[in-house]
């Protein structure tokens, strides 16, 4: 299991597309940081060694001051060298980290911005918040607190073993066994427990993020239901669970530190015994007895972080995996940039024998589904809830891929046209998002290059001109968070104005009038049909009123189009449709 974990860590490192490129690019300064780290410990150890020698030789009243002159100078040199090297090393490593972090944050935000819609479908909100809040910090620490200290510690260990091995083989073997226990054995043995503790903690944090997000989104409902206290209790239960895990971690950490301190004590005792028996043959040699033991103490600072670092490995490897997953999943979609390209209306959009389900155990939503939609055709998609209507649109956009069959524009599979997808489609669902900015900016999202006059034109087309003209600041009025200044119908109209400005050839409507009163619903749909007559349109709806305006209706049921035809044809020939239609418009 431990070997597998180490292998996993190695694989992550190898495939790390976040820090690794920066590491490679700044190889020279990294080596300098390692070298400075080594020099710091060397000076610390040498300082103690020379000081020990100096104290011992002064205690024996040297007959000539020059006998201790060189150690005095060396003490001063190492004493100054240690903080100086440490300072430069800190300066260099922090500079490196700040530069890298800034570049990484830029990269992360660009990734999220570019593939926002894709990410929101594939990552839960808790995951995304976690990604933003923690993962990059973890990755920074992974190198600063794990990889770099381990490299410096192993470098010091390697050189120490060579040096001691040359001086005395038995001592080298004893030191090797004890130090190896500290820097290899304990970290490896502690890994499984660290992984399981971490995964519990991580699950808890993620749940907390998810629940907090949900709870906050539903804040109004908690209040309406007079369940404010439940809301508080709901969130505080996570705090108490987190506190328990933290306490357990602290206890384990204390025990581990005690064991390591005991081992260091044992090393000091071994050194003391060895120097007591081997360095007392002459008075001159005895000067070194204390030095050897003292020289070892500063090295404890070098080896201690290795165990700690290894215990943090699970924390970092999960973050590293998620960031790399993010890079990979978005790199598939990277081509789907938001850059607007001029695209011509396809003559034909074809679904050919498409089958789809979300997972092997999930119900098949499309089964050998075929459909041909011609240029400027308006298609209404009806069907019971959960039959896969929205999924059908997601397949068309390319957010999902068919398990079998193809979806193509003029014979070319949509997967090959993903680089143009933002130019092909406009999308309006039941709750268009309105940003907390001006009306002008909200509409201009459709086309950043549009002039103020263009914005006013589309606002007039969607019937918002009068409303906007009555606002004291007109189009410069800020609509508050998620457009709370606007009614539901006005929000949908504003989103429609955005779509008109975008002027993409294919319009996808996913129940855009849900929650609107019948009059507003009918007006909005009238506006859409009037302004979008030159576009190809897919309209998912549960309401049959207004359907006469579409060219064709398909009824999606059990993975197939169970009814299909013009509204008039279906009304005349399909009793089920006639009944549904009459029910919907209140005729029966």
Ligand X SMILES: Nc1ncnc2c1ncn2[C@@H]1O[C@H](COP(=O)(O)OP(=O)(O)OP(=O)(O)O)[C@@H](O)[C@H]1O
Is residue 386 near ligand X by the rule CB under 6 A? yes
Nearer to ligand X among residue 315 and residue 365 (C-beta): 365
* Binding-site member from 181, 390, 429, 562 for ligand X (CB under 6 A): 390
Closest distance to ligand X from the beta carbon of 220 (Å): 23
Nearer to ligand X among residue 69 and residue 358 (C-beta): 358
- Please identify, among the stretches 198-206, 247-255, 320-328, 384-392, the one whose residues bind ligand X according to the rule CB under 6 A: 384-392
Site for ligand X in 447-466 (CB under 6 A): none
Nearer to ligand X among residue 143 and residue 555 (C-beta): 555
Give the closest residue to 17 by CA, choosing from 327, 335, 332, 334: 327
- Which residues, including other chains, have CB under 8 Å from residue 277's CB and lie 6 or more apart? none
Is residue 559 near ligand X by the rule CB under 6 A? no
Closest distance to ligand X from the beta carbon of 372 (Å): 21
* Binding-site member from 138, 333, 389, 417 for ligand X (CB under 6 A): 389
Nearer to ligand X among residue 366 and residue 439 (C-beta): 366
Closest distance to ligand X from the beta carbon of 539 (Å): 12
Is residue 388 near ligand X by the rule CB under 6 A? yes
Nearer to ligand X among residue 13 and residue 580 (C-beta): 580
Nearer to ligand X among residue 61 and residue 361 (C-beta): 361
- Which residues, including other chains, have CB under 8 Å from residue 516's CB and lie 6 or more apart? 488, 489, 492, 524
Closest distance to ligand X from the beta carbon of 81 (Å): 60
> DSSP readout, 14-29?
HH-SSHHHHHHHTHHH
Site string for ligand X, 329-358 (x = CB under 6 A): -----------------------------x
Cα 557 from Cα 384, distance rounded (Å): 7
Cα 34 from Cα 574, distance rounded (Å): 79
Cα 170 from Cα 155, distance rounded (Å): 21
Closest distance to ligand X from the beta carbon of 356 (Å): 10
Closest distance to ligand X from the beta carbon of 392 (Å): 7
Nearer to ligand X among residue 218 and residue 386 (C-beta): 386
Is residue 361 near ligand X by the rule CB under 6 A? no
Closest distance to ligand X from the beta carbon of 188 (Å): 39
Site for ligand X in 419-438 (CB under 6 A): none
Strand partners, 244: none
Is residue 527 near ligand X by the rule CB under 6 A? no
Give the closest residue to 342 by CA, choosing from 503, 158, 545: 503
Helix (H, G, I), strand (E, B) or coil at 208: helix
Closest distance to ligand X from the beta carbon of 234 (Å): 25
Nearer to ligand X among residue 101 and residue 431 (C-beta): 431
Give the closest residue to 412 by CA, choosing from 400, 427, 424, 399: 424
Helix (H, G, I), strand (E, B) or coil at 270: helix
DSSP state of 362: S
Is residue 385 near ligand X by the rule CB under 6 A? yes
Closest distance to ligand X from the beta carbon of 529 (Å): 22
Helix (H, G, I), strand (E, B) or coil at 463: coil
Give the closest residue to 101 by CA, choosing from 68, 140, 131, 73: 140
- Please identify, among the stretches 30-38, 136-144, 389-397, 491-499, the one whose residues bind ligand X according to the rule CB under 6 A: 389-397
Is residue 562 near ligand X by the rule CB under 6 A? no
Is residue 387 near ligand X by the rule CB under 6 A? yes
Nearer to ligand X among residue 352 and residue 557 (C-beta): 557
Is residue 532 near ligand X by the rule CB under 6 A? no
- Please identify, among the stretches 81-89, 386-394, 403-411, 501-509, the one whose residues bind ligand X according to the rule CB under 6 A: 386-394
Closest distance to ligand X from the beta carbon of 400 (Å): 8
Cα 268 from Cα 225, distance rounded (Å): 66
- If one counts every other C-beta atom within 10 angstroms of the C-beta of residue 466, the result is 9
Closest distance to ligand X from the beta carbon of 588 (Å): 23
Nearer to ligand X among residue 125 and residue 437 (C-beta): 125
Q: How far is CA 3 from the centre of its chain?
A: 27
Is residue 446 near ligand X by the rule CB under 6 A? no
Closest distance to ligand X from the beta carbon of 87 (Å): 53
Residue 307 exposure: Cα atoms within 13 Å on the Cβ side = 24
Closest distance to ligand X from the beta carbon of 391 (Å): 3
By rule CB under 6 A, what count of residues binds ligand X? 11
* CB-CB contact of 175 with 164 (8 Å): yes
Nearer to ligand X among residue 81 and residue 388 (C-beta): 388
Nearer to ligand X among residue 383 and residue 567 (C-beta): 383
Q: Where are the alpha helices (DSSP H) in 168-185?
A: 169-180
Is residue 391 near ligand X by the rule CB under 6 A? yes
Nearer to ligand X among residue 31 and residue 358 (C-beta): 358
* Binding-site member from 160, 292, 323, 365 for ligand X (CB under 6 A): 365
Closest distance to ligand X from the beta carbon of 394 (Å): 7
Give the closest residue to 315 by CA, choosing from 204, 197, 209: 197
Nearer to ligand X among residue 290 and residue 392 (C-beta): 392
Give the closest residue to 355 by CA, choosing from 306, 404, 294: 404
Nearer to ligand X among residue 170 and residue 358 (C-beta): 358
390-416 burial code (b ≥16 CB/10 A, e <16): bbbbbbbbbbbebeebebbbeeeebee
Cα 159 from Cα 229, distance rounded (Å): 61
Sign of the torsion angle spanned by Cα atoms 287, 288, 290, 295: positive
Closest distance to ligand X from the beta carbon of 542 (Å): 7
> DSSP readout, 76-92?
HHHHHHHHHHHHHHHHH
Q: Which element (helix H / strand E) includes 64?
A: none
Give the closest residue to 17 by CA, choosing from 330, 333, 338, 335: 330
Binding site for ligand X (CB under 6 A): 358, 362, 365, 383, 385-391
């Amino acid at each position: 299991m431990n070997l597998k974990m180490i292998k996993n860590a190695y694989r992550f490192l190898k495939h790390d597309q976040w820090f690794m490129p920066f590491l490679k690019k700044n190889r020279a300064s990294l080596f300098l940081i390692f070298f400075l780290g080594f020099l710091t410990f060397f000076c610390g150890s040498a300082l103690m060694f020379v000081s020990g020698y100096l104290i011992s030789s002064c205690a024996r009243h040297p007959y000539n001051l020059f006998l201790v002159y060189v150690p005095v100078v060396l003490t001063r040199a190492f004493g100054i060298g240690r903080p100086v090297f440490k300072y430069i090393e800190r300066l260099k490593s922090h500079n490196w980290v700040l530069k890298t972090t800034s570049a990484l944050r830029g990269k992360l935000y660009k990734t999220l911005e570019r593939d926002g819609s894709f990410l929101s479908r594939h990552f839960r909100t808790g995951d995304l918040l976690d990604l933003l809040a923690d993962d990059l910090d973890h990755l920074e620490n992974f190198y600063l607190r794990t990889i770099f200290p381990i490299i410096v510690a192993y470098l010091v260990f390697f050189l120490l073993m060579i040096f001691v091995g040359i001086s005395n083989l038995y001592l080298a073997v004893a030191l090797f066994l004890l130090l190896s226990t500290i820097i290899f054995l304990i970290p490896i043995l502690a890994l499984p427990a660290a992984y399981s503790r971490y995964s519990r903690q991580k699950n808890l944090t993620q749940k907390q993020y998810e629940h907090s997000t949900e709870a906050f989104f539903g804040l109004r409902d908690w209040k309406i239901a007079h369940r404010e206290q439940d809301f508080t209790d709901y969130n505080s239960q996570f705090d108490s669970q987190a506190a328990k895990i933290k306490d357990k971690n602290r206890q384990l950490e204390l025990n581990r530190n005690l064991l390591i301190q005991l081992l260091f004590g044992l090393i000091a005792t071994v050194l003391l015994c060895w120097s007591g028996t081997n360095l007392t043959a002459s008075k001159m040699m005895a000067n070194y007895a204390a030095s050897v033991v003292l020289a070892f103490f500063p090295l404890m600072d070098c080896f201690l972080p290795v165990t700690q670092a290894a215990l943090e490995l699970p924390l970092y490897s999960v973050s590293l995996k998620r960031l790399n997953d993010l890079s990979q999943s978005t790199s598939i979609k990277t081509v789907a940039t938001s850059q607007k390209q001029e695209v011509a209306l396809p003559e034909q959009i074809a679904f050919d024998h498409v089958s789809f389900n979300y997972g092997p155990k999930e119900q098949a939503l499309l089964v050998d589904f075929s459909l041909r939609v011609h240029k400027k055709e308006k298609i209404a998609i009806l069907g019971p809830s959960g039959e896969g209507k929205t999924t059908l649109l997601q397949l068309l956009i390319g957010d999902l891929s068919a398990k079998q069959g193809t979806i193509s524009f003029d014979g070319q599979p949509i997967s090959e046209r993903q680089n143009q997808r933002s130019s092909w489609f406009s999308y309006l669902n039941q709750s268009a998002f309105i940003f907390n900015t001006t009306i002008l900016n909200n509409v201009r999202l459709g086309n950043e290059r549009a002039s103020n006059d263009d914005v006013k034109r589309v606002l007039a087309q969607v019937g918002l001109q009068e409303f906007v003209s009555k606002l004291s600041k007109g189009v410069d009025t800020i609509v508050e968070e998620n457009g709370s200044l606007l009614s539901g119908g006005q929000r949908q109209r504003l989103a429609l104005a955005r779509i008109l400005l975008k002027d993409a050839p294919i319009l996808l409507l996913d129940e855009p009038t849900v929650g609107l009163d019948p009059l507003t619903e009918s007006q909005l749909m009238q506006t859409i049909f009037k302004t979008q007559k030159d576009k190809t349109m897919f309209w998912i709806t549960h309401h049959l009123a207004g359907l006469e305006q579409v060219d064709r209706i398909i009824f999606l049921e059990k993975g197939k189009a169970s009814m299909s035809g013009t509204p008039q044809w279906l009304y005349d020939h399909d009793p089920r449709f006639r009944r549904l239609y009459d029910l919907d418009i209140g005729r029966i």
